[in-house]
Amino acid sequence: MTAAGADASGRADDPVAGMEAAAFEAFVGEVAQFRDTVVAPNVNRWESEKRMAPEALREASEIGLLAMEVPTALGGLGMSFAQKCRITEVLSAVSMPFAFSLVNTGNVAARVAQRGTERHRELFLADLMAGRRFGSTALTEPGAGSDFANIATTATPVDGGWRLDGAKAWITNAAHSDVIFCYAQTEPGSRGRGIALFLIDGTRPGFERLPPYELAGGHLIGTGGFRLDGYVAEADDLLSPPGEAFIAALSSVNGARTYVAAMCCAMVEATLASAVRYGAAREAFGKPVIAHQGLAWKLAGVQNRLEAARLLTDRAIDAVTESLRTGDATGAILPAAHAKKFTTETAEADIATCVQAMGAEGLRTDHPGGHHLVGARIANYVDGSTEIQTDRIARSLQQLYA
């Protein structure tokens, strides 16, 4: 595993400073090479087979991609949040679903490293970083999605731990993951006040994996669900107690919304570049297609909105970084919501514009547009739907302007 060592100031394990700049830029080059040699040649085959690509995730682990935010002292890369966002962009230029699957296992590895017990680190950390096991975070249920406080999975105290019962749905990596951060209700009817966070091991009795979902595309994220029937979590598997877990989940989602925004920027840029190259090479009515004002102006509009999307995303990255420094997530809530709302809404429309600019050729799998259209649709749902971002912004209006 490639890793940058800490300098005398310990910067490599600083969650704000992250890897030293030169080492990080060299790593970005490694990631781009991995993307171009492993992901790009296979992404359409993986999608046609409607499956995740665990073998590619294991290969990604060889350069440290499943351990980006794990401290170097524990074998990780010690990246900052901003650096992680940059890496997700590099990967998402080819496949947002692959990048999203990868980052979810990486998130679990980082949380095991930072919040798990020594027993958890011994059991799970090395396997997560090496791609021998995969991770998920399980909030959503068949009857509770955007209304997270309404989850029905129960956690009941028993001798030596907790009994968990219930079902989870629409979970990233559920097709293969068995190291799972699972939210459950300890006091039915209490909503967020009773929600706690548990670390569960999908190889133990009481865990039943359900078949992954048949989707229109994006199978690389391995979306599916699982059931818990009498699963017993040990006492130290309770990672966040009732109430605290709900608040922490709402805070941590700021980061997820921000890297999804970064992924959207990458998808738009890759599709725009493809459309411009095609338009410059293809002639119609005696001149390159891109020389026709109607098409050129449409692509100029895409570029204009991409610039705005990047600025909103950078603002959200700065806000999340500051929240990690201070421990107060409040200031990141609105920047993350604005970034995710704008980038997801514009990505889908702008990718479609780029595909249209290529005519029927844009539908071929030789070009990235079709895969990125599905990725943009997925981005509108994950880590809080577009409507949730709109509502969050709307609820701030009176405070900001009244």
The pTM of the full predicted model, rounded to 2 decimals, is 0.93
Per-residue pLDDT tens listing for the chain (402 residues) = 333 333 333 334 566 789 999 999 999 999 999 999 999 999 999 999 999 999 999 999 999 999 999 999 999 999 999 999 999 999 999 999 999 999 999 999 999 999 999 999 999 999 999 999 999 999 999 988 888 889 999 999 999 999 999 999 999 999 999 999 999 999 998 998 999 999 999 999 999 999 999 998 999 999 999 999 999 999 999 999 998 998 888 878 999 999 999 999 999 999 999 999 999 888 889 888 898 999 999 999 999 999 999 999 999 999 999 999 998 999 999 999 999 999 999 999 999 999 999 999 888 998 999 999 999 999 999 999 999 999 999 999 998 998
Tell me what pLDDT residue 291 has: 87
Please tell me the predicted confidence (pLDDT) of residue 14. Answer: 64
Tens of pLDDT, residues 290-327? 989 999 999 999 999 999 999 999 999 999 999 999 98
Three-state SS for the chain is: CCCCCCCCCCHHHCCCCCCCHHHHHHHHHHHHHHHHHHHCCCHHHHHHCCCCCHHHHHHHHCCCCCCCCCCHHHCCCCCCHHHHHHHHHHHHCCCHHHHHHHHHHHHHHHHHHHHCCHHHHHHHHHHHHHCCCCEEEECCECCECCCHHHCCCEEEEECCEEEEEEEEEEECCCCCCCEEEEEEECCCCCHHHHEEEEEEECCCCCEEECCCCCCCCCHHHCCEEEEEEEEEEEHHHEEECCCHHHHHHHHHHHHHHHHHHHHHHHHHHHHHHHHHHHHHHCEECCEEHHHCHHHHHHHHHHHHHHHHHHHHHHHHHHHHHHHHHHCCCHHHHHHHHHHHHHHHHHHHHHHHHHHHHCHHHHHCCCCCHHHHHHHHHHHCCCCCCHHHHHHHHHCCHHHHHC
Strand 207-209 relative to strand 179-185: parallel, antiparallel, unpaired?
A: unpaired
Taking the alpha carbons of 11, 13, 18, 23 in that order, is the dihedral positive or negative? positive
Distance of alpha carbon 50 from its chain centroid, rounded?
A: 19
What pLDDT was estimated at residue 138? Answer: 95
pLDDT tens sequence across 74-103: 999 999 999 999 999 999 999 999 999 999
Note the pLDDT of residue 251: 79
